[in-house]
């Protein structure tokens, strides 16, 4: 997103990609540094992406082609498990590779469960055994496969030849799971690709996936939304700068099962709608008919999402509703004429399509649409004065959005929503005396990007819970959470600003605001590890408190020390945050021994003396006396709602040097 910063703006990584693609389309030649054969291949892929999904995609009168049989690298949907029900063969046969050959390493796997409900995860432990020819068992990359297709984050073996995988399974049936040494070679989106021939693969484990009951979202007066990116396509974004690797692996946004699993997780959290980001679709264009190939892929991925949601709802599965974020100046400026053309296309192809009935989020009896305008009312007035037409609001309820409202209070006064605020106190937006919108986030940056002192890291959910306190205070009609799945940033030395050191979007696994579950150990661009299910569980717990008319439960997080931090000295500063029912007091324990008690319920910090603690691993626990919680904030699995509730507490592991 474009970030308004006191008269300046930073255009994120999306801008660089789109500008290159625009030059590609205009000249018919490959950008500098791109092989011409690869350029031609990518162009061919882009031209057929929408067709591969079985839809006819037109940008306001552009030419159409129909070729449903085309299958692209971007359209990596694993085979349906309908043919893999008990008593039938899987769509892609599982095989044991070369495991039977004693000259090669062998891989064996175990599962923690043999039956789960759809959308839940099974933990697979793989063990590599050396052979005479292949003695190495450490630091080997292993890839999980379900029904013969790649599914899940790749992991590396430890010194004992062990690797662990958390594998979500989104469809009912029998899942056939294997682990192999080889992944799909040279692909930007390996998820959904078949197991390579002659790969050293494990034995096969069967896991039965059963249907489960779904409760449709309630609390219609206070809706909770999530910003969502459909941009993992051949001509948009890949995974080379991701700050962490999703549990699902490096997926394509065209993948039906990825969309399905996302929907199941979003429903579990209590998300009512998703705000799909199209804010970069029309950079520098004067008409919607000029939308470039990369924008067409975003549109195709969104259509695939709507089709998947519609099918899930037919099956009785709750999904979030949908709205879109368009963009008038998120990068090179477009025209109101182009925006009106985009609105007309959306209305004809999405709103009036009976297949997508009930999926769109309505507000004031019309479909809601959000338009990013970082220049505000003055910028828009200038366009109208130059002869551009006003935005057509006949078919939609339109809300404008900017960003960093702590620097632009006039935007909030004008009713502009926010993509993200660079403040621990997010800015409420009022309309007719009521709080209409508030945006909160697990972490944020302001002026200077992620490395500036004004940025706030995740801090084990400390930042997120403090921002959720604002949601309880203002009770907005729309609570927007930024964000689900950006997974992109600038490469080292290629940030913004004179020193090329202003990094926006996402930076590393602490300085980012993505929520989608990730691997706890896989390595990404700037380091290894992620947050597992922690932020999914924390979001779910906080939303539960948010919808309580009178707080009955408490959510508690420890901000410092950081998880697995190495500490030294004589004093350990402890910080925490909580929302919900206030406790009577707090108690601090280390390794089960009380080191602080009867702490004031208004306190959010305490200093613990480290005297007598031996070097090595220790556990710090914080208890909220007189308060209870409904969810354990686990990193390794989706938390179940507890009956009865448990005493409210938070724990973190640290190491004394």
DSSP 102-114: TTS-EEEEEES-S
Per-residue pLDDT, averaged over 272-278, amounts to 97
DSSP symbol at 455: -
What pLDDT sits at residue 64? 35
For 483: left if phi > 0, alpha if psi spans -120 to 50, otherwise beta; the answer is beta
d(CA 81, CA 278): 32
User: Looking at residues 476-500, what average pLDDT do you find?
Assistant: 97
| Tokens 């959308």 -> residue | 119
Angular region, 275: left φ>0, alpha ψ -120 to 50, beta rest: beta
Per-residue pLDDT tens over the stretch 120-159:
999 999 999 998 788 899 999 999 999 999 999 999 999 9
Q: What does the pLDDT read at residue 217?
A: 56
Question: Per-residue confidence at 511, pLDDT binned at 50, 70, 90?
Answer: very high
Q: Which residue has the higher pLDDT, 339 or 13?
A: 339
The pLDDT of residue 101 is 62
The residues facing 431 across adjacent strands are 434
Q: Which pLDDT score, from 0 to 100, does residue 431 have?
A: 97
Q: What is the pLDDT of residue 218?
A: 65
- 235/300 Cα distance (integer angstroms): 12
Alpha carbons 87 and 311: distance in angstroms, whole number: 25
Q: Which residues contact 506 (CB under 8 A, 6 or more apart)?
A: 241, 242, 243, 450, 486, 487, 488, 489, 512, 513, 514
Kindly tell me if the per-residue pLDDT of 99 is higher than 70: no
**Range with the lowest mean pLDDT among 24-38, 390-404, 554-568?**
24-38
Q: Is the pLDDT of residue 311 over 90?
A: yes
Compute the Cα dihedral for 479, 480, 485, 487 and give only its sign: negative
- Do 247 and 155 meet the contact criterion of CB atoms below 8 Å apart? no
Q: Burial of 188 by CB count in 10 Å (0-12 exposed, 13-18 middle, 19+ buried)?
A: middle
Residue 287: exposed, middle, or buried by beta-carbon count in 10 A (0-12, 13-18, 19+)?
A: middle
- What the block records as the tokens of 605 is 């910090």
pLDDT at 102: 61
**pLDDT (mean) for 356-370:** 97
CB 187 within 8 A of CB 134: no
pLDDT at 216: 57
Instruction: Using the predicted structure, report yes or no on whether residue 234 has a pLDDT greater than 60.
Output: yes
| pLDDT score, position 312 | 96
Tell me the CB-side half-sphere exposure of residue 325, using CA atoms within 13 A: 29
Residue 126 contacts residue 91 (beta carbons within 8 Å): no
Measured distance CA(111)–CA(207) in Å, rounded: 8
- Quote the CA–CA distance of 364 and 395 in Å, as a whole number: 11
pLDDT tens digits for 40-79? Answer: 333 333 433 433 343 444 454 443 333 222 233 334 444 3
Residue for token digits 């796997």?
109
Instruction: Report the pLDDT value the prediction gives residue 69, as an integer from 0 to 100.
Output: 26
Contact indicator for 349, 379 with CB cutoff of 8 Å: no
Query: What residues contact residue 643 under an 8 Å CB cut-off, 6+ apart?
Result: none
Structure-token pair, residue 165? 């995988």
pLDDT at 291 over 60: yes
Q: Which residue has the higher pLDDT, 268 or 31?
A: 268
- Residue 332 confidence (pLDDT): 92
In the chain, what are the domains? Answer: 3-18+220-429 (no CATH), 81-210 (2.60.40.10), 554-656 (2.60.40.10)
Confidence at residue 182, expressed as pLDDT on a 0 to 100 scale: 87
Hey, what are 299's tokens?
A: 């549109």
Residue 338 · residue 288 · CB < 8 Å:
yes
Residues 80-92 have pLDDT tens digits of 343 333 333 344 4
Q: By mean pLDDT, which of 103-107, 362-366, 542-546, 598-602 is the weakest?
A: 103-107
User: What is the DSSP secondary structure assignment for residue 220, as one 8-state letter?
Assistant: T
Q: 13-27 and 293-314 are packed helices; what angle lies between their axes, rounded to 10 degrees?
A: 120
Query: How far apart are alpha carbons 599 and 583 in whole angstroms?
Result: 10
Q: What is the structure's pLDDT at 86?
A: 30
Closest CA to 7 of 455, 447, 425: 447
Alpha-carbon span 325 to 241, nearest angstrom = 24
Say which residue the tokens 């960003």 belong to: 403
pLDDT of residue 132: 79
Closest-CA residue to 77 (of 398, 414, 307, 323)? 307
Q: Which pLDDT tens digit goes with each residue over 384-406?
A: 999 999 999 999 999 999 999 99
Does residue 644 have a cis peptide bond before it, meaning omega lies within 30 degrees of 0? yes
Cis, peptide link before residue 170, omega less than 30° from 0? no
Q: Is residue 12's pLDDT more than 50? A: no
- β-pairing, 397-402 with 366-372? parallel
Percentage above 90 pLDDT, the chain? 79
| Measured distance CA(46)–CA(67) in Å, rounded | 13
Name the percent of the chain lying above pLDDT 70. 84
User: What's the pLDDT at 331?
Assistant: 84
List the strands of the sheet with 571-580, edge to edge. Answer: 554-560, 571-580, 605-609
């Amino acid at each position: 997103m474009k970030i308004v910063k006191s008269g300046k703006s930073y255009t994120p990584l999306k801008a660089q990609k789109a500008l290159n693609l625009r030059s590609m389309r205009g000249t018919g030649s490959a950008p500098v540094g791109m092989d011409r054969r690869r350029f031609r291949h990518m162009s061919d892929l882009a031209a057929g992406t929408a067709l591969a999904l079985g839809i006819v995609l037109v940008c306001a009168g552009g030419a159409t082609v129909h070729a449903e049989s085309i299958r692209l690298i971007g359209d990596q949907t694993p085979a349906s498990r309908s043919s893999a029900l008990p008593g039938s063969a899987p769509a892609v046969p599982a095989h044991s590779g070369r495991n039977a050959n004693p000259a090669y390493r062998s891989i064996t796997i175990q599962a923690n469960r043999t039956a789960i409900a759809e959308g839940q995860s099974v933990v697979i432990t793989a063990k590599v055994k050396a052979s005479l020819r292949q003695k190495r068992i450490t630091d080997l990359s292993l890839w999980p496969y379900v029904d013969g297709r790649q599914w899940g984050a790749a992991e590396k073996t430890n010194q004992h030849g062990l690797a662990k995988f958390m594998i979500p399974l989104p469809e009912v049936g029998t899942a056939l799971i294997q682990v192999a040494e080889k992944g799909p070679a040279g692909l930007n989106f390996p998820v959904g690709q078949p197991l390579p021939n002659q790969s050293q693969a494990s034995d096969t484990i069967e896991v039965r996936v059963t249907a489960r009951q779904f409760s449709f979202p309630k609390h219609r007066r206070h809706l909770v939304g999530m910003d969502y990116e459909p941009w993992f396509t051949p001509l948009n974004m890949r995974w080379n700068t991701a700050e962490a690797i999703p549990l699902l692996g490096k997926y394509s946004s065209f993948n039906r099962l990825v969309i399905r699993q996302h929907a199941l997780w979003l429903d579990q959290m209590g998300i009512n709608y998703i705000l799909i980001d199209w804010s970069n679709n029309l950079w520098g264009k004067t008409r919607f008919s000029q939308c470039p190939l990369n924008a067409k892929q975003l549109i195709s991925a969104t259509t695939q999402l709507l089709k998947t949601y519609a099918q899930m709802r037919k099956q009785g599965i709750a999904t979030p509703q949908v709205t879109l974020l368009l963009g008038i100046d998120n990068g090179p400026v477009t025209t109101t004429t182009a925006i009106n053309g985009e609105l007309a296309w959306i209305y004809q192809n999405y709103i009036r399509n009976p297949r997508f009935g009930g999926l769109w989020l309505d507000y004031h009896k019309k479909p809601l649409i959000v338009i990013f305008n970082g220049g505000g009312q003055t910028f828009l007035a200038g366009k109208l004065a130059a002869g551009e037409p006003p935005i057509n609001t006949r078919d939609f309820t339109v809300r404008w959005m900017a960003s960093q409202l702590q620097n632009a209070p006039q935007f909030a006064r004008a009713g502009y929503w926010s993509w993200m605020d660079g403040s621990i106190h997010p800015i409420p937006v009022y309309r007719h005396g009521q709080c209409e919108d508030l945006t909160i986030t697990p972490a944020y940056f302001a002026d200077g990007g992620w490395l500036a002192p004004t940025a706030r890291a995740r801090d084990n959910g400390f930042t997120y819970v403090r921002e959720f306190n604002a949601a309880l205070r203002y009770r907005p009609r729309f609570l927007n959470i930024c964000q689900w799945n950006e997974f992109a940033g600038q490469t080292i030395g290629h940030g913004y600003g004179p020193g090329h050191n202003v990094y926006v979007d996402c930076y590393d696994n602490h300085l980012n605001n993505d929520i989608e579950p990730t691997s706890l150990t896989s390595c990404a661009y700037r380091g290894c590890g992620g947050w597992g299910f922690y932020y999914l569980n924390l979001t779910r717990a906080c939303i539960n408190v948010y919808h309580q008319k009178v707080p009955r439960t408490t959510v508690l997080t420890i901000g410092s020390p950081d998880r697995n931090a190495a500490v030294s000295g004589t004093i350990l500063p402890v910080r925490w945050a909580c929302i919900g029912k206030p406790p009577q007091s707090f108690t601090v324990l280390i390794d089960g021994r009380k080191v602080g008690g009867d702490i004031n319920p208004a306190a959010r910090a305490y200093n613990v003396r480290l005297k007598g603690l031996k070097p090595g691993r220790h556990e710090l626990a914080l208890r909220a006396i007189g308060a209870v919680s409904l969810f354990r904030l686990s990193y390794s699995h989706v938390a179940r709602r507890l009956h009865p509730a448990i005493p409210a507490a938070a724990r973190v592991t640290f190491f004394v040097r």
